[in-house]
Chain A
Amino acid sequence: MESIHALKSQDHSSGRLRKDKLVLGGVIVLSLVTISPIILIIWKLVAEGYRQISLDFLIKNTPDTFEAMTAVANGELIPGGIANGIVGTLLMVVLASALAIPIGVLTGIYLYENQGSFMANLTRNISDILQGVPSIVLGLISYLWVVKHITMGFSALAGSVSLSIMMLPMIVRSTEETLKMIPESLKEAALALGVPYHKVILRVLIPTGFSGLLTGILLGISRILGETAPLMLTALGSSTINLDMTKPTSAIPLLIWEFYNDPNMIGLIWSSSLLLMAMILILNLVSKQLAAKRR
């Protein structure tokens, strides 16, 4: 009797163990499924895109659709490159950063200095909500503000404004989080020496938290590099290099969209995406490295 009971309970526990193993197996399989897209996507970009990557690709403007058609018909690589997009992307990212970084860092400092105050909580909540606003809506906003009233037409500035609103909440958040990790005593020591407040910010807080701030900024930039939708409503695009921020300007993601819609240019979509992805990956890895070093 006794032994039958023991056998039964053993049977029961082996069922539990089997279930345990089964679930672990399921978790491993599903986790592998989760990461497979990233590998498949990067594989596709490299496999289809590497042939077009060359010096010309980086320093020449986009070909017109007829040139591309002739090249494809002759079985050659499509001539030209995406220099107009590269320059446009850099121009807009620099402008957007110039707008978003000072405001974002100062707001982050304000939030850190006024923990718990009503204004700080309100600002933090609003900034969090701004972070969730879809990028296409930011494009509409910048269209209403800049395209309609400031540059009187599609422009790099309008694109930058929409991108900067996108970056801003990320910088606010990362600045506050970084400053919170700086030991209070460091700031108190400076204040005890009678250092004026703005110097405490410039000479103590910002230098000590620099790598943290930089991480936030780089991540912010990597988020806006690939944005397409807001630029379609604001920067529009341009077939030549443009450095005038009041004029329509191209960007790498905008070019990808144009190539996608032009059957003759399909050959260029993968190489452009590969370049864009490489830029984003490098920024991501650099900022991760910085963050890891801090810990």
Chain B
Amino acid sequence: MNSDKITKAVLFSVSILILLLAAGMLYSLVGGSLSAFKTFGLQFIVSGEWDPTYGHEKYGALPFIVGTLITSFAALLISLPLSFSTSLFLGEYYRGTRVARILGILVDLLAGIPSIVYGLWGFYVLRPMLIDLGFGGQGFGIFTASLILAIMIIPYATSLSNEIISMVPNDLKEAAYSLGATRLEVITSVTIPAARSGIVAGYILSFGRALGETMAVTMLIGNTNQVPGGLFDTGNTMASVIANQFGEADGLKLSSLIAIGLLLFLMTGLINAIGKLIIKKMN
């Protein structure tokens, strides 16, 4: 009996460790960004200036917050038709067939490719293609980064929507078929309404993925520290500016980068919590 108590205590304390880990992460990020927030106050979030000149250093996170949101939204929009079609292919049209299985494996493999390999491919294959198509400059910028990000988040949106779509009860669909509905009508009037919240949750979670992607974006976005003027402008995301500038950072600059990390942590946490909440409500 005594050993049972010890076992339970061990299990309990290990799971406490997870909570401590999360709390410790938040604590350290807040602690590390304190000097940036003390110096700039809330200006840090709304200021678009990033000037590391020694003596009158000024750091604002706005260019990176805007850059992150634009690239991630654009990536979501680009990936939407692709991942939605794929989840219909896997979960509805060819559910359970050999073709669907192979396609599913290939889509899953997309999630296995490291960010840096996506970056290389984007740099050496996609970017020259964009230049040939007449996109300006060197092919770097928000749009190029979004394009590669869109490919990277496809598997996340696809796997969840596919799962939800294939869970829609057959008798609902059969009832519609028996009334003479075509496949498309069944999809638009039965499948999608029944799976709607799951599909939305999938896209929210994949948006959360896009927010924090680092390497591929760093290699393609052009790395400039001003608020991007449009989709074809160069810029930086919160993750890419950390990766870019961390090497030579100390003092106030390091603290500012950690503050950006804190904001990114909170943003992704919020987005993920919303996505998970929708999924939980559904069950």
Contact = CB atoms under 8 A, between A and B. Distances in A.
A26 B19 contact: no
Given A31-B103, A111-B15, A284-B112, A197 B269 contact: no
B221 interface: no
A113 B81 CA distance: 41
B85 A134 contact: no
B209 to A, nearest CB: 8
B242 interface: yes
Nearest to B125: A44
A45 interface: yes
Interface residues of B, number: 82
Given A137-B264, A226-B115, A126 B19 contact: yes
Interface string A145-156: 100000000000
Interface in A105-132: 106-107, 109-111, 113, 119-120, 122-123, 125-132
A69 interface: no
A183 interface: no
Interface in A235-259: 253, 256-257
Contacts of A33: 82
A144 B215 CA distance: 21
A110 B18 CA distance: 12
A222 B261 CA distance: 25
Nearest to A260: B120
B243 A197 contact: no
Interface in B1-24: 3-4, 6-8, 10-12, 14-15, 17-19, 21-22, 24
A266 to B, nearest CB: 9
Contacts of B15: 106-107, 110-111, 119-120, 123
Interface in B80-128: 81-83, 85-86, 88-89, 93, 103, 105-110, 112-121, 123-125
B196 interface: no
B139 to A, nearest CB: 16
A132 B83 contact: no
B117 A273 contact: yes
A280 B112 contact: yes
Interface in A211-229: 222-223, 225-229
Contacts of A45: 117
Contacts of B114: 225-228, 253, 276-277, 280
B25 A128 contact: no
A131 B156 CA distance: 13
A136 B19 contact: no
B108 to A, nearest CB: 7
Contact of A134 (B82, B117, B258, B264): B264
B135 interface: no
A31 B3 contact: no
A23 interface: yes
A223 B115 CA distance: 10
Nearest to A111: B15
A286 interface: no
Given A40-B125, A103-B14, A197-B3, A133 B184 contact: no
Interface in B246-283: 246-247, 257-258, 261, 264-265, 268-269, 271-273, 276
A20 B184 contact: yes
Nearest to A223: B112
Contacts of A31: 82, 85-86, 89, 103
Contacts of B82: 30-31, 33-34
B214 to A, nearest CB: 4
A91 interface: no
Given A129-B273, A222-B112, A281-B109, A110 B11 contact: yes
Nearest to B23: A126
Given A134-B213, A198-B3, A281 B88 contact: no
A141 B81 contact: no
Contacts of A53: none
Nearest to B181: A16
Interface of A: 16-17, 19-20, 23-24, 26-31, 33-35, 37-41, 44-45, 103, 106-107, 109-111, 113, 119-120, 122-123, 125-137, 140-141, 144-145, 165, 168, 172, 196-198, 201, 222-223, 225-229, 232-233, 253, 256-257, 260, 269-270, 273, 276-277, 280-281, 284, 288
Given A34-B86, A129-B22, A228-B214, 19 more contacts: A17-B182, A20-B183, A20-B184, A20-B185, A27-B88, A34-B107, A35-B110, A37-B151, A44-B121, A132-B209, A137-B264, A141-B25, A144-B28, A144-B31, A197-B8, A232-B243, A253-B116, A256-B120, A288-B105
23 contacts: A20-B183, A28-B89, A34-B86, A38-B106, A44-B124, A110-B12, A110-B14, A113-B11, A119-B15, A128-B276, A130-B21, A134-B268, A135-B214, A140-B261, A145-B28, A222-B112, A228-B115, A280-B113, A280-B114, A281-B109, A284-B109, A284-B112, A288-B108
Interface of B: 3-4, 6-8, 10-12, 14-15, 17-19, 21-22, 24-25, 28-29, 31-32, 81-83, 85-86, 88-89, 93, 103, 105-110, 112-121, 123-125, 151, 154, 158, 182-185, 187, 205, 208-209, 211-215, 219, 239, 242-243, 246-247, 257-258, 261, 264-265, 268-269, 271-273, 276
